[in-house]
Amino acid sequence: MNEPEKIRSILETAHTIAVVGCSPNPARPSHGVARYLIEEGFEIVPVNPGHRTILGKACFPSLSEIPPEIRIDLIDVFRNSSQIAPLVEPAIASGARFFWMQEGVVDPESARRLESAGIGVAMDRCILKDHVRMRR
């Protein structure tokens, strides 16, 4: 996990990013990061059970409710570390190539399960900071 080459590769090749825990509140980090990703040309799929749209995008209640015709490349998670394990099976089923746990989100066992399924993992990292750093 946190392999620089894999992080660079997914940030260079990903098109569609599911943002789990995306908030409509501009003061929340998930909102700012999602807005940044949109501005950088990524397609964002917000995942939050309390909203129908966020940032002008259709919002889904869970990963498993994203229609299969929406191909998710990367899952970016803004949830408490204790809420990562239930996301593992839906992440595997989604066909995503990468699972990103934002800063402060740590679950080594879930990371091992995802990697065993062939999904790259970033843990306790900010996708925005890594993307900005990569572009320098």
For the segment 90-103, what is each residue's pLDDT rounded down to a tens digit?
Answer: 999 999 999 999 99
How far apart, in whole angstroms, are the C-alpha atoms of residue 72 and residue 14? 9
d(CA 119, CA 98): 5
| In the predicted structure, residue 15 carries a pLDDT above the cut 90 | yes
Minimal CA–CA distance to 106: which of 122, 127, 89? 122
For 4, counting Cβ atoms within 10 Å of its Cβ (0-12 exposed, 13-18 middle, 19+ buried), the class is exposed
Which pTM value belongs to this model? Answer: 0.95
pLDDT at 34: 98
Tens-digit pLDDT profile for residues 102-134: 999 999 999 999 999 999 999 999 999 999 998
* pLDDT of res. 1: 87
Looking up tokens 């700012």 gives 32
Q: What pLDDT is stored for residue 71 in this prediction?
A: 96
Nearest of 98, 105, 102, 91 to residue 121 by alpha carbon: 98
Domain ranges of the chain: 4-135
CATH for 4-135 is 3.40.50.720
pLDDT digits (tens, 9 = 90+) for 46-66: 999 999 999 999 999 999 999
Report pLDDT for 75.
Answer: 98
Question: pLDDT averaged over the chain?
Answer: 96
| 43 within 8 A of 15, measured Cβ to Cβ | yes
Segment 83-95 mean pLDDT = 97
